[in-house]
Amino acid sequence: MERKSVAWRWTPALLGLLAYLLLTLVYLRPIWRVGGDHIAPDRGDPIFNLWVLSWGAHQARTGFPSFWDANIFHPLRGVLTFSDHLLGPAVQLALFEQVVPNPIAGYNLLFFTSFVASAFATAWVLRRSGRSWTAALLAGWMFAFAPFRLMHLNHIQILIAQWIPLTLWFWDRLLAERTAKAAALFLLFYLLHVTSGCYLAYMVHVPLLAVLLVRLREHGRALVAPQALRVLLPVGLVAGGAVAALFLPYVKVSQRLSIARTPAEAAAYAATTASWVSPAPQSRYAVNAHRAKILRRRLGPVAGSFFRTESSLFPGFLLSFFALAGLWIWRRERRANGDRPAPWRRIAGGALLAVALAAWLWGDLLTLTAPARRALLLGGLGRFGWTAPALVLTAALAAWWALRHRAAAPAREGDVWLRGVGLGGLLCFALAHPIAYVPLMQVVPGLDGMRVPSRFAALVTLALAVFAALGIDRLLERLRSRTLHTAAAAALALLLAWELAPKPVRWVPLPRREQFPAVYHWLKDRDDVQALLELPIRRNVRETTAMYFSTLHWKPLANGFSGYEPPTHEEIVHRMRWVPDRDGLAFLRSLGISHLLLHRAEILDDEPGPRLLARFEQDLAAGPAPEVELVWSGGEDRVYRILPSSRTPNHAGR
Average pLDDT over residues 295-318: 72
DSSP string, 608-623: THHHHHHHIIIIISSS
What are the Cα distances from residue 313, in Å, to 97, 279, 454, 471? 36, 6, 8, 21
Give me the amino acid identity at 460.
V
Indicate the range of 85-99, 268-282, 368-382 predicted with least confidence.
Answer: 368-382
Neighbours of 232 (CB within 10 A): 17
| % of the chain residues with pLDDT over 90 | 66
In Å, how far from its chain's centre is CA 299? 32
Report DSSP state, residue 557: B
Quote the CA–CA distance of 1 and 203 in Å, as a whole number: 46
- Pairing mode, strands 595-599 and 532-535: parallel
Indicate the range of 66-80, 186-200, 282-296, 567-581 predicted with least confidence.
Answer: 282-296
Residue 650's pLDDT is 43
Checking if the pLDDT of 19 tops 50, the result is: yes
Paired residues of 642 in beta bridges? 628
Average pLDDT over residues 285-301: 64
In Å, how far from its chain's centre is CA 595? 36
Select the more confidently predicted residue: 592 or 1.
Answer: 592
Checking if the pLDDT of 346 tops 80, the result is: no
DSSP string, 365-431: HHHHS-GGGGGGGGGGGGGGTTHHHHHHHHHHHHHHHHHHHHHPPPPPHHHHHHHHHHHHHHHHHHH
Quote the CA–CA distance of 49 and 114 in Å, as a whole number: 15
Checking if the pLDDT of 252 tops 70, the result is: yes
Checking if the pLDDT of 225 tops 80, the result is: yes
* Residues 621 and 629 sit within 8 Å (Cβ to Cβ): yes
**624-649 pLDDT tens trace:** 889 999 999 998 899 999 999 744 44
Q: What is the pTM of this model?
A: 0.92
Axis crossing angle, helix 226-257 with helix 163-177, rounded to the nearest 10? 140
SS3 451: coil
- How does residue 11 score in pLDDT terms, banded at 50, 70 and 90? confident
Number of residues that this document lists for the chain: 654
Paired residues of 634 in beta bridges? 637
Sequence spans of domains, the chain: 2-257, 342-408, 513-642
Q: How many CA atoms lie within 13 A of 267 on its CB side?
A: 18
Checking if the pLDDT of 353 tops 90, the result is: no
Select the more confidently predicted residue: 164 or 265.
Answer: 164
Give me the amino acid identity at 538.
R
**Among 162, 48, 161, 164, CA closest to 107:** 48
- How does residue 5 score in pLDDT terms, banded at 50, 70 and 90? low
Residue 607's pLDDT is 84
- How does residue 288 score in pLDDT terms, banded at 50, 70 and 90? low
- How does residue 302 score in pLDDT terms, banded at 50, 70 and 90? low
**479-511 pLDDT tens trace:** 888 889 899 999 999 999 999 988 899 999 999
Checking if the pLDDT of 615 tops 70, the result is: yes
Residue 454's pLDDT is 93
Quote the CA–CA distance of 503 and 481 in Å, as a whole number: 36
Residue 25's pLDDT is 96
Checking if the pLDDT of 654 tops 50, the result is: no
Indicate the range of 99-103, 232-236, 455-459, 605-609 predicted with least confidence.
Answer: 605-609
Indicate the range of 75-84, 367-376, 413-422, 578-587 predicted with least confidence.
Answer: 367-376
Residue 503's pLDDT is 86
In Å, how far from its chain's centre is CA 430? 17
Residue 648's pLDDT is 44
Report DSSP state, residue 198: S
Quote the CA–CA distance of 532 and 550 in Å, as a whole number: 10
**Among 609, 202, 233, CA closest to 444:** 202
Average pLDDT over residues 99-110: 97
Residue 296's pLDDT is 62
Residue 599's pLDDT is 95
Residue 531's pLDDT is 96
Quote the CA–CA distance of 441 and 238 in Å, as a whole number: 26
Checking if the pLDDT of 618 tops 80, the result is: yes
- How does residue 293 score in pLDDT terms, banded at 50, 70 and 90? low
Quote the CA–CA distance of 165 and 149 in Å, as a whole number: 15
- How does residue 12 score in pLDDT terms, banded at 50, 70 and 90? confident
Residue 554's pLDDT is 97
Average pLDDT over residues 136-164: 95
Indicate the range of 12-21, 259-268, 435-444, 515-524 predicted with least confidence.
Answer: 259-268
Average pLDDT over residues 437-466: 93
Select the more confidently predicted residue: 476 or 309.
Answer: 476
Quote the CA–CA distance of 569 and 547 in Å, as a whole number: 14
Residue 260's pLDDT is 86
